Structures are given as C-alpha cells and as structure tokens.
Amino acid sequence: MLSSRQQQEIRACCETVSFDVSMAAYSTFKAGGPAAALADVQNQDQLAALLEYCRREAIPWRVIGRGSNILVTDSGFNGILFRLGAAFRTVGLKNESEPEVVAAGGGCLLADLLGWCRRHGLGGLEFLAGIPGGVGGAVRMNAGAFGHAIGELLHSVSIIGADGVVKQKTADMLSLGYRCCTVEGYDPNQAIILSVTLRLQPTDGEQIARDMQNYMLQRKKNQPRGVPSAGSFFKNPENDYAGRLIETSGLKGARVGGARVSPVHANFIINDGGEASAADILELMHTVQEKVKKETGIFLEPEVHIF
C-alpha cells in the first residue's frame, strides 16, 4: 500500500482522494477488494499532476469510469484508481457551425448525454438507453446493443496518455472493433478519454423518447433487474451468443457462493443477495469457461475488466 508520504503527496495533487477504499462500493457488481487510493479528479490540471506523480513514483493507475464494467480482485489494487469529475462531465454542441456534432466529456453519464440529445432533437444513440456507464468507458469498449455501436457515430476523441500529453484523434485514426477501441501507440489501460465528439442526426425529440423507451423495455424483458452485476459478462463469439452457449451447456442458474449465472439471461453473472466476493465471481467465471469450452470447443473471453 501507499506510504504516508505518498498519501500526503497524492493529496497535494488532488484533494478529493480517499485511501484504502473498498471497491465494492464503487462497482455495479457490489464486490471487489480495496484500492490503495481512489481519486475523483476534478480538472485536467489535477489529472496531469497525478499522472506525473504516478510516473515519478512508479505507482500503477487505472481509470474506472462509473464502475459498471470492472471487477477488482479480493487482493485489491495497489495503486491509484481515477474517476473523472465535474470538468469532464459536460455536454453540448461542438460549435454552432456544426449543429449535428455533440461534444461530451469522458466522465459524462450516458443517461445525461441521451437526455441532452433528446431535448435538443439529435438522434442516433438511443440504443444505449439503459446502459449505466459513462461516455469514456462506452467509447473505450465501443459499447453497443441491438446491432449498433457507439463507434459508428464517433467524430473525434481527446485522449491523454501516461506521459500526460493530450492529443486529438479523429475517428479514422482509431481502431474500432467488437467491444474495443484502441489508438496506435497507446496502452488501452494507460489512456484516458477526456472528451469525444459524435456526429448525430436531427430527429424529433418525441421519436427519440419513444425509441429509448422501446430499447429500455427490451432490456427489462430480457435482462436481470435489481441485482448487482456488470452487465454482459462475456464477449459474444463470432456468429454466436455467449448467453446461448452458457445456457445450452446447462449452466443457467449455476452458483458459486454468492455469485450466480442469472436465470433470466445466462450471459449475466449476478451478485445474488449482494454477498458475493470477487473470488466467488472469478471461480464461477472459470467454471463457465471450462464447461462451455468442453461442450462447444469455444473459449469465452470476459468483457468485464478484471484487475
């Protein structure tokens, strides 16, 4: 863990920091071990100072966004986890000359972005309705559903790496794939999306609201509600669905401790009762991977980031 000197120096970079923090409180899984530090970074100056400090002290770091697609192991993370604060949660038009291009901070909630787009009659992102993450994480994962992905609408990103240098990248400079978005020269886990621009389509606000509601209804019908999870746990293999493979392998409802394969949708591992440890979840993950591999020959890759 961090020494008292390091804690004091980190606090000088960013006042809104906590130490020895249980990540169960900051993950939608409601499970996970401690982080040595959790910093709510309020502006770019604080972020640059923290990155410089981590570089100088050789302290590991990661961005966790809204905690909706992560699992920290029970042994914890011996470094600093960042969350982007108020200065990174803005949304608005990029400029008046391009009324269809929206600029959103990397820390902006998807729900806030969608609400802004509905009010201003800009459509295209409705398929993201109900996804609980933030903009930066959604772009990092090229989040998608119902045959669409956010990468289809990307215009540009502003990104900062471990060296503290901010660069602008247009969409054609990104490598977009299924549940991934990478930039040449950057370690995906050592790059922070500060903001993005998205090219949308003028659309009637009421139509946007109806489409969002329809997508939400589909999610409620087919996905577990009211229980802690990280959303879809495994990536879908090419030309198939992880949930189908798990179900046909006889694992729907399988349990390890407090972790359970959802009886509603087999590609959701849920923290049933809120008492699961990260170890329970990981053991169940391995059980699913081994059984599906044995039954189908397909190895399921986690979509959730585990560290």
Whole-structure pTM value: 0.92
Which CATH number is correct for 89-220, 2.30.42.10, 3.30.465.10, 3.90.850.10, 3.40.50.12780?
A: 3.30.465.10
Looking at CATH, the fold of the domain delimited by 4-85 is given as 3.30.43
Element (H, E) at 145: strand 144-145
pLDDT tens digits for 140-149?
999 999 999 9
Residue 206 annotated among the catalytic residues of the structure = no
- Confidence category of residue 185, pLDDT binned at 50, 70, 90: confident
- CA 159 – CA 180 distance, rounded (Å): 15
- Confidence category of residue 243, pLDDT binned at 50, 70, 90: very high
- CA 156 – CA 32 distance, rounded (Å): 34
Mean pLDDT of the chain: 97
What would be the CATH architecture of the domain defined by 224-301? Alpha-Beta Complex (3.90)
Active-site choice (66, 68, 195, 303): 303
In contact, 214 and 221? CB cutoff 8 Å: no
Residue 179 annotated among the catalytic residues of the structure = yes
Active-site choice (22, 52, 100, 179): 179
Domain limits, the chain: 4-85, 89-220, 224-301
Tokens found for residue 272: 């049933």
pLDDT tens digits for 48-57?
999 999 999 9
Q: Residue 200 has what pLDDT?
A: 99
- What integer is the mean pLDDT of 26-48? 98
Residue 75 annotated among the catalytic residues of the structure = no
In contact, 176 and 142? CB cutoff 8 Å: yes
Active-site choice (158, 229, 232, 262): 232
- Confidence category of residue 184, pLDDT binned at 50, 70, 90: confident
Q: Residue 188 has what pLDDT?
A: 86
